[in-house]
Amino acid sequence: MTWHPARKPRLVLAVSHGAGGGIEARDLRALAAALPAHGVSVALVEQPWRVAGKKLAPAPKTLDAGWRGIWPALAARGLPVISGGRSAGARVACRTAAELGAHAVLALSFPLHPPGKPEKSRADELLGAGVPTLVVQGGNDPFGRPVEFPEAPEGTYDLIEVANADHGFAVPKRAGTTQEQALDSITEGVAKWVASLG
């Protein structure tokens, strides 16, 4: 776990990576750099399977167990904890939020379905988080474009679209927006949402 502390923290954001990468992901780094100025201490959490040097993520139940295992260290600071993750990490955050007493969920690049298989929806995980949830999704994410997300009951989740971005929030050069602008839209959107949580 790598901490990026706020000077006067009011919240903790614990955020984990996906099945294909680690805490060096561009969106996780950007949030860790930006949010402490907004009173949010950020903990970038390397999943146990990555720490052990394994190349493939284990089954969802094992991922959930790993998240449960680190939760006491996150809650020990006595501040409300936002449970977050990108891709597979977002699914873990949604599945465990209510059980762990998360204050909210930040779901980055939520994998709504496997690429090319919209019939295999994971919307129930997102809708079942049970706490305020923000989804940040690339406009061209093959795991689910923003227009594919179900209409949610009021207060279930909010969604920020990162125009032209893929699953890793990379934007093509022809997009008319720079990579830096895409990351700014993520950090600004998340900071605004965090401020609304109270």
Q: How many whole angstroms separate alpha carbon 38 and alpha carbon 41?
A: 9
Q: How many whole angstroms separate alpha carbon 26 and alpha carbon 179?
A: 10
Asked if residue 96 lies in contact with residue 37, where contact means CB atoms within 8 angstroms, the answer is no
Q: How many whole angstroms separate alpha carbon 125 and alpha carbon 25?
A: 23
User: Each residue's pLDDT tens digit in the chain (198 positions)?
Assistant: 899 999 999 999 999 988 777 788 999 999 999 999 999 999 999 876 666 566 666 566 777 888 899 999 999 889 999 999 999 999 999 999 999 999 999 999 999 999 999 999 999 999 999 999 999 999 999 999 999 999 877 778 999 999 999 999 999 988 888 999 999 999 999 999 999 996
> Which regions of 17-69 does DSSP assign to beta strands (E)?
40-45
Q: How many whole angstroms separate alpha carbon 156 and alpha carbon 60?
A: 23
Please tell me the pTM assigned to this model.
Answer: 0.93
- For the chain, domains (ranges, CATH) are 2-196 (3.40.50.1820)
* 17: phi then psi, degrees, rounded to nearest 5: -90, 180
